[in-house]
Amino acid sequence: MKVNEKTINNIKQNKIKYLVKDFKALGIPEDTTREILLKRGINKWLYNRMRFINLKDELKQGIRNTLSLMPLVKNVEGKGSKKYIGLVGELKATNYIRGQIRKICHNSRWVFPE
């Protein structure tokens, strides 16, 4: 498949095995590819990218938990209580952080950083 800005999202990503397969097709041995990826920190970045996506999902669950707790606190302690105001602040902060992470995760793959 010819890679361009429109087709790039149709290609599997984020796995060392895909890079190994691509380089093997070019005649580069698997062990050489794996060593280079390890030395250049690509393994680390792909691993951290997966962790980053998991963090985004954890934050989403935290938002759900806060949203379910807010009505209970509001009914028991009132809308002006410190606990309720704290939950509102937590919700805003978590939403903001998750939004920033989401923007990073949804950036275009068609980039050339260097």
- C-beta of residue 14 within 8 angstroms of C-beta of residue 50: yes
pLDDT of 27-80, one tens digit each?
Answer: 999 999 999 999 999 999 999 988 998 999 999 999 999 999 999 999 999 999
Any idea what DSSP says for residue 106? T
Q: What whole-number distance in Å separates Cα of residue 88 and Cα of residue 63?
A: 10
* DSSP string computed for 34-50: HHHHHHTTHHHHHHHHH
pTM of the predicted model as reported, rounded to 2 decimal places: 0.74
Tell me what pLDDT residue 88 has.
97
pLDDT of 49-63, one tens digit each?
Answer: 889 989 999 999 999
Tell me what pLDDT residue 110 has.
86
pLDDT tier at 109, thresholds 50, 70, 90:
confident
